[in-house]
Amino acid sequence: MKVRIQYARHGVMKFIGHLDMMRYFQKSMRRAEIDIAYSGGFSPHQIMSFASPLGVGMESESEYMDIEINSHQGGRAMRDALNAVMVPGMEILSVRALPQGAQNAMASVAAAGYLVSFRAGKPAFVTAETLRRFYEKEQIPFVKQTKKQQLTMDLKPAIYELSYRSMGNEDMADCGAITEAANDVIYMLVNASSSGNIKPVMVMEAFYRDNGETLPEFALAVTRTEIYGNRENADGKKLMPLKEAGEEF
């Protein structure tokens, strides 16, 4: 049986790299006595895959991993058992069963939502109006440095939403409008698939450059809010949180 685990990651755990996070969960499975399935061969390992590695220094409200299990006592019991062995900054939010034939978490990723704030205070030029003008451009050029060359790409098709949001306003949760508020943050929904993975810092670098500024190092605090997959419906493809591919059990 394949299950999808949703978890949050905050505090000091944001400084843990992806490989160490994998090892952390492998040990957590053993400590929580989860009957996880192992691969065959001479070097068996836990059957586990992650949706999208989180960059070091970033927090997240919704990350995903898939595992295969041999037996269980229910999704809620698995969630509680795992939370009992989690360290501060880690929380298991849900455990859901995936249907037969479902894509794994990594292959399902289509987009991701992020909240971006400023560590040293919001620069004067970062306003609702400058953000609106930036997002309304027909093209948003970005120069990406690879090991061998510089590549110029257009970020505009990969930015699905760019807006201001007030952290304390529940009404803004599904609103794309740009408003001014005392505790505004920048929300962005961007392509996170393997074919066009866009990072929040790339968008902000382009935004700064568009306003004649250079993004300072370590200026941003970034939180990933959700990871989305595509869902086929009568109106075409629609983004949905990865947890919705599974059901409670």
| Angle (nearest 5°) at CA 56 between 52 and 58 | 80
Say if residues 186 and 164 touch (Cβ distance below 8 Å). Answer: yes
pLDDT value for 174: 42
Nearest in space to 229 (alpha carbons), one of 37, 66, 67, 19: 66
Spans of all domains in the chain: 2-107, 121-215
pTM for this model (two decimals): 0.89
What residues contact 212, with CB distance under 8 A and at least 6 apart?
none
Tens digit of pLDDT per residue, the chain (249 long)? 999 999 999 999 999 999 999 999 999 999 999 999 999 889 999 999 999 999 999 999 999 999 999 999 999 999 999 999 999 999 999 999 999 989 999 999 999 999 999 988 888 898 889 999 999 999 999 988 777 888 889 999 999 999 987 665 444 444 433 433 335 799 999 999 988 889 999 999 999 999 999 999 999 999 999 999 987 655 566 899 999 999 999
| Angle (nearest 5°) at CA 8 between 77 and 85 | 45
Q: Which two tokens stand for residue 91?
A: 């929380």
Q: Which two tokens stand for residue 205?
A: 């670098």
Determine the Cα–Cα distance for residues 118 and 110; give it in Å rounded to an integer. Answer: 26
pLDDT value for 182: 39
Phi and psi at residue 85, in whole multiples of 5°?
-115, 5
Say if residues 184 and 165 touch (Cβ distance below 8 Å). Answer: yes
Is residue 205 classed as helix, strand or coil in its secondary structure?
A: helix
pLDDT value for 150: 84
What residues contact 179, with CB distance under 8 A and at least 6 apart?
128, 164, 165, 166, 172
pLDDT value for 196: 82
Determine the Cα–Cα distance for residues 93 and 225; give it in Å rounded to an integer. Answer: 13
CATH no. for 2-107: 3.30.70.580
